[in-house]
């Protein structure tokens, strides 16, 4: 976008990835011309959305008993060495600081790829007795990983924004309850506030977080039928507490290792999903909750319009709405096009007729339908709109996602339905434990799709066989391509 001139004519359904590449740049959400590969600049419009997403996540976590903290960006190498599986999993992705000015450091320092090894070093100092538990802390930060695959802004890069929560409990049961709580937070924010339907899976053992006992993750089905993981939570068992000696004295006087979980909703990826799922061929569509500008007022020149428009703006701001008055010299048509492209949920048009009749005309970005109401009923209208818009976005997104989904009872059936445009398959499968690895590899080799996991609380198969090995199926799994 240069000035107020926007040219955008990519068809989202025909070429989603090109649509995405264009819209994030033309809407001035990011700039990836920064001269380090895989690092982007988040521009003001994107950062305003991100700040609102952070507020939603942090609020929900704090309602569930979490407290905010901030840990150092640098992690000493000795911390990484304590949990063998974890260090092996992140070794190839870690950025290391080896110099302080012109002097070599005595010990390498890692740029935080994730913070288990920072938090749990301190937990070993903070946790002493039963009264210190449960401990629930979170931080909202950037993490850094030396991503070697092709990068895609907001989806895959070398720096990304997230929230990470690290929790410690006296028992396995409490820790697993926390996993369910993390699922609730994920669905509350993504579905209720952002209109993004999610599939919350238990991941296969061969695809779990390094150092975890079990990994659970939320996927969003993108407009091309591929899955994007936007959050994950991990039951760590005693793996890290044993490595870092995080122990407590229980009520019975015995010394025990804590059970731990960690949770990471990826804010960068949530923004990518918002852009992708809700946008259309006219541009962005932001949910009302997180839109940088929720309402734009567009005056149509005429007697009394300027003053009437300013009064509307002030009224909206008094009620806490993020509103903007576009009193630029562009034509009304150019303004309509611009604010539609930038995804403002609600547009208020004010012309001489509205001034004369004491009314306003409102345009819904999602449907593009217009409605004229009395000025005295404007705030009531906006309040109702703010509640209904995200629900309508969610319903539309769910319908679009379901278009890609199908059940299949054989690998051959998957291949046939792929030709029909199906992309996400529910299939009977032998096991998500390591003994199912060979079946998962065959599926990927034959179809190009990977096992994403089983839905929590999904029913178990009865009298069905694994689509690969023919053994009795003990779960239904979803398979799809993943970003």
> Which tens digit of pLDDT belongs to each residue from 113-129?
999 999 999 999 999 99
Q: Please tell me whether residues 73 and 117 are part of one structural domain.
A: yes
Residue 44 maps to a domain? no
> Which CATH number fits the domain that encloses residue 141?
3.30.930.10
Q: Please tell me whether residues 201 and 246 are part of one structural domain.
A: yes
Q: Please tell me whether residues 222 and 364 are part of one structural domain.
A: no
Q: Count of alpha carbons within 13 Å of 207, Cβ hemisphere only? A: 19
Lowest mean pLDDT among 78-87, 157-166, 425-434: 78-87
Residue 437 maps to a domain? yes
Q: Please tell me whether residues 373 and 470 are part of one structural domain.
A: no
End residue of a domain, out of 278, 304, 334: 278
Residue 36 maps to a domain? no
Confidence (pLDDT) at 8 = 82
> Which CATH number fits the domain that encloses residue 470?
3.30.110.30
pLDDT band at 5 (very low <50, low <70, confident <90, very high): low
For the chain, percent of residues with pLDDT exceeding 70: 99
d(CA 411, CA 408): 8
Residue 394 maps to a domain? no
Q: Please tell me whether residues 344 and 235 are part of one structural domain.
A: no
pLDDT band at 24 (very low <50, low <70, confident <90, very high): very high
Q: Please tell me whether residues 454 and 377 are part of one structural domain.
A: no
For residues 278 and 9, the model is more confident at 278
How many angstroms separate the Cα of 66 from the Cα of each of 166, 184, 482?
9, 14, 31
Entry pTM: 0.96
Q: What is the number of structural domains in the chain?
A: 3
CA triplet 60, 62, 63: central angle to 5 degrees?
A: 65
Place of tokens 């705030």: 379
Q: How far is CA 483 from the centre of its chain?
A: 13
Residue 213 maps to a domain? yes
Strand partners, 372: 361
Q: Please tell me whether residues 463 and 419 are part of one structural domain.
A: yes
d(CA 366, CA 271): 18
Q: Where are the beta strands (DSSP E) in 128-224?
A: 135-144, 159-169, 199-202, 214-221
Q: Please tell me whether residues 316 and 271 are part of one structural domain.
A: no
Confidence (pLDDT) at 4 = 52
Q: Please tell me whether residues 181 and 262 are part of one structural domain.
A: yes
pLDDT digits (tens, 9 = 90+) for 273-288: 999 999 999 999 999 9
Q: Please tell me whether residues 242 and 340 are part of one structural domain.
A: no
Residue 21 maps to a domain? no
Q: Is the pLDDT of residue 457 over 90?
A: no
Average pLDDT over the chain reads 96
End residue of a domain, out of 249, 278, 307: 278
> Which CATH number fits the domain that encloses residue 349?
3.40.50.800
Q: Tell me the DSSP string of 370-416.
A: EEEEEGGGHHHHHHHHHHHHHHHHHHHHHHHHHTTEEE-SSHHHHHH
On the 0-12 / 13-18 / 19+ scale of CB atoms within 10 A, 160 is: buried
Q: Please tell me whether residues 439 and 327 are part of one structural domain.
A: no
Residue 428 maps to a domain? yes
Q: Please tell me whether residues 94 and 179 are part of one structural domain.
A: yes
Confidence (pLDDT) at 135 = 98
What residues make up the domain containing 354? 295-384
Q: Count of alpha carbons within 13 Å of 424, Cβ hemisphere only? A: 22
Residue 417 maps to a domain? yes
End residue of a domain, out of 278, 313, 347: 278
């Amino acid at each position: 976008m240069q000035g107020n001139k926007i040219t955008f004519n990519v068809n989202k359904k025909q070429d989603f990835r090109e649509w995405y590449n264009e819209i994030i740049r033309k809407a001035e959400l990011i700039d990836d011309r920064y001269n380090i590969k895989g690092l982007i600049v988040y521009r003001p419009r994107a950062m305003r959305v991100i700040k609102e997403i952070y507020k939603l996540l942090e609020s929900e976590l704090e309602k569930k008993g979490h407290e905010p903290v901030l840990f150092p960006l640098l992690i000493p190498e000795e911390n990484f060495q304590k949990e063998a599986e974890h260090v092996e999993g992140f070794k190839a992705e870690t950025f290391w600081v080896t110099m302080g000015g012109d002097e070599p450091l005595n010990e390498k320092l890692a740029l935080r790829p994730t913070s288990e090894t920072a938090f749990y070093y301190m937990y070993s100092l903070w946790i002493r007795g039963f009264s210190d538990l449960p401990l629930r802390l979170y931080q909202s930060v950037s993490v850094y990983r030396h991503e070697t695959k092709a990068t895609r802004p907001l989806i895959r890069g070398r720096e990304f924004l997230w929230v990470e929560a690290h929790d410690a409990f006296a028992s396995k049961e409490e820790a697993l309850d926390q996993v369910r709580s993390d699922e609730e937070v994920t669905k509350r924010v993504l579905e209720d506030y952002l209109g993004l339907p999610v599939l919350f899976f238990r991941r296969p053992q061969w695809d779990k977080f390094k150092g975890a006992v079990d990994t659970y993750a939320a996927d969003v089905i993108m407009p091309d039928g591929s899955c994007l993981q936007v959050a994950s939570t991990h039951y760590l068992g005693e793996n890290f507490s044993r490595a870092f000696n995080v122990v407590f004295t229980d009520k019975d006087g015995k010394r025990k290792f804590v059970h731990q979980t960690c949770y990471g909703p990826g804010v960068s990826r949530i923004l990518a999903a918002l852009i992708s799922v809700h946008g259309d061929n006219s541009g962005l569509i932001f949910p009302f909750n997180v839109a940088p500008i929720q309402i734009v007022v567009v005056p149509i020149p005429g007697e009394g319009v300027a003053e009437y428009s300013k009064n509307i703006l002030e009224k909206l701001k008094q009620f806490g709405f993020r509103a903007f008055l576009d009193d630029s010299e562009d034509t009304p048509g150019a303004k309509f096009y611009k604010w539609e492209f930038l995804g403002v949920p609600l547009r208020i048009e004010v012309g001489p007729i509205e001034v004369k009749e004491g009314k306003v005309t409102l345009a819904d970005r999602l449907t593009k339908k217009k409605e004229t109401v009395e000025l005295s009923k404007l705030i009531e209208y906006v309040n109702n709109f703010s509640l209904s818009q995200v629900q309508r976005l969610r319903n539309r997104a769910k319908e679009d996602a379901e278009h890609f989904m199908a059940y299949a009872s054989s690998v051959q059936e998957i291949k046939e339905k792929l030709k029909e445009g199906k992309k996400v398959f529910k299939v009977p499968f032998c096991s998500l434990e390591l003994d199912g690895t060979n079946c998962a590899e065959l599926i990927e080799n034959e179809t190009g799709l990977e096992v994403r996991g089983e839905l929590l609380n999904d029913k178990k198969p009865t009298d069905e066989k694994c689509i690969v090995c023919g053994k009795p199926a003990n779960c239904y799994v979803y398979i799809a391509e993943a970003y």
